[in-house]
Amino acid sequence: KAADFTMKDHKGKSVTLSKVAKKNKLVVIDFWASWCGPCRASMPHLKEVYAKYKKRGLEVVSVSLDEKAADWEKAYKQLALPWIDLCNLKGWKDDLLQKYAIRGIPHQVLIDSDMTFVKMGFHRSGELEETIEQYLNK
């Protein structure tokens, strides 16, 4: 099972992963940061995946490793992220990274509504979509 957590969004509202998961069939947890070029480069593709599967029960929760609120907020607005975006402003010192064995970003984790890991680390082109399709078509 995935570790549950609660973090603040851009409006200061606390969001709990397990509550988001219960409302959806699948959740992509996307670890990123404003200063991470590959993370930012991956966002347009993740937006396409989100748009394609949102109505079929996919949610995205991005977790920023930023330490400065202004940097996090600026990147969020520039990227126009349409999903839940959270941050503890602790950077690499966030305990959550150990719970998810995060050693580099970008890193994506796919969980189901019961917080069970479906798959971690999507590196091959199309791998995320293939995994989502396989799960939703069961």
- Any idea which residues carry the catalytic annotation? 36, 39
Type and span of the H or E element at 59 = strand 58-64
Alpha carbons 84 and 68: distance in angstroms, whole number: 18
Which residue is associated with the tokens 């599967």? Answer: 53
Report helix angle 37-53 to 127-136, nearest 10.
Answer: 30
Alpha carbons 47 and 52: distance in angstroms, whole number: 9
Q: For residue 23, what is the DSSP state?
A: T
Type and span of the H or E element at 44 = helix 37-53
